[in-house]
Amino acid sequence: MGRLDGKVAVITGGVKGFGLASAKVFIREGAKVVITDVDEKGSADALKELGNENAIFVKQDVSKEAEWEPVFAAAEEKFGTVNVLLNNAGILFFDDAEHVTLDEWHKILSVDLDGVMLGVQTAIKHMKKNGGSIVNISSIAGLIGIPNLYAYNAAKGGVRMLTKSAALYCAEKKYAIRVNSIHPAYAHTPMVDAYPEKLKELESLHPMGRLGSAEEIANMALFLASDESSFSTGAEFVTDGGYTAQ
């Protein structure tokens, strides 16, 4: 018996990185998944890995409000009621408080914060009758300041607090919806591996001496998506190789 038997999950940014790793783990544990991404070209390879009987792809820009309802409609039409939303889609680039441009600021926040807000709002609408689990991928950058991740710090800190507010709201309304955030440190994903010149420096920041893997983050997402985490809401789950313990 799988840990997610009978569940239907929507995973944003599902073509690669944490999203694809989570989709694989979710399917292995019995779920059906809808992966979304702006990367339509990469979706064919992702679906080949996942198996077409277990997953579908919907092209989506999470920062656009009009593109959220079609995702849930496609999930419900193909697999039934959505039980899990993994708000994973995100972008990253290095900037700082003195030199960031307004366009760069808006680009990061539109995907990394606005996209999560829209996902939470849409998921509550679709889950409030039958319940579910919303899992938001934040970051250690949502817990501590990092001088060269100015806009990303702001977005991920916003995700952390948005999660707590939504969790309390759902509890107050007696919706059986749990909302939690995951806070990874640097891990091997296309977003981080795009900066190979920083690899040694990034590894040295973690007491465990290495970056995390996408699968290690996916395992935390699995726990929060499953009924095993039934008493956890409004909480932050850190997967950082000891980074924030220092």
Whether 186 sits among the annotated catalytic residues: the reply is no
Q: Looking at the chain, list the stretches that DSSP marks H as alpha helix, in order from N- to C-terminal side.
A: 17-28, 43-50, 69-78, 102-109, 115-127, 150-172, 190-193, 199-204, 214-225
> Which residue type, as a one-letter code, is found at position 7?
K
- Cα-only R_g, the chain: 17
> Which of 15, 20, 70 minimizes the C-alpha distance to 37?
15
Catalytic residue among 150, 152, 186, 243: 152
What sign for the dihedral angle of Cα 82, 154, 214, 163? negative
CB atoms within 10 A of CB 79: 20
Structure tokens at 58: 């919907």
What stretch of H or E contains 180? strand 177-184
Name the 3-class secondary structure at 196: helix
Residues with catalytic annotation? 152
